[in-house]
Amino acid sequence: DLEAISVSSWMTSVPHNLGNTSHGKLKADQWRALGTGLVITIATLQTTTVEHAEAYLTHITAYLNGIRALFPKYKLHSNHHLAVHIYNFLKLFGPVHSWWTFPFECLIRALQCMPSNFIIGELEEMISRAYTRSSNLCAILDKFGCPKVIQKSRPI
């Protein structure tokens, strides 16, 4: 796999002969590159096991702890939090390639169906309002006691 990896010019590469004594010791940047690649490799395997999920959690936790130790003032973002949840998804749904795009495709579809009226500057508020209305309507339709004719209705 190491020979098939292409990295950006600003990122240090891992030695192609990793595992042989001839390459010597890895530098800190090479360990970082290896760890980054390893997390991605584990998360995108075609098959997965509980051990793979555990390995992913170990590595992503070490990565985030490393960020916090090296950069104490750095504020972690929501994508860091979401990266930790991939562990749960690996255990629940299997390999990433089978489910990764589905939630985003649903969100893109929902955004495309929202009326925007091309009002510049109010887009975020409009998206939030339309999404909330849609969610509230779904909750009402899912409630027990909603007439069956309404529950069975579909978009025209």
Statement: the pTM of the whole predicted model exceeds 0.85: no
Give the closest residue to 41 by CA, choosing from 14, 68, 23.
14
How many angstroms from the chain centroid is the CA of residue 118?
30
Would you state the pLDDT for residue 26? Answer: 77
pLDDT for residue 47: 77
Query: Which of 120, 54, 116 lies closest to 84 in space, CA to CA?
Result: 54
Say which DSSP state 113 is in: H
Q: How many CB atoms lie within 10 A of CB 127?
A: 14
Per-residue DSSP letter, 84: H
pLDDT at 63 (0 to 100): 93
Q: Rounded to whole angstroms, how far apart are CA atoms 14 and 20?
A: 12
The domain segmentation of the chain, as residue ranges, is 2-97, 102-151
Cα 90 to Cα 105: distance, rounded to the nearest angstrom: 19
CB 125 within 8 A of CB 87: no
Q: Given this model, what pLDDT does residue 132 score?
A: 85
Tens of pLDDT along the chain (156 residues) come to 556 666 667 666 776 677 677 777 877 777 777 777 667 776 666 777 889 899 999 999 999 999 999 999 999 888 888 889 889 888 888 877 667 666 667 767 776 776 667 666 676 777 778 878 888 887 887 777 777 777 777 765
CB 29 within 8 A of CB 35: no
Sign of the four-CA dihedral 69, 75, 77, 78: positive
Distance CA 2, CA 37 (A): 9
Per-residue HEC secondary structure of 19-50 comes to CCHHHCCCCHHHHHHHHHHHHHHHHCCCCCCH
CA neighbours closer than 13 Å in the CB half-sphere of residue 92: 7
pLDDT number for residue 20: 74
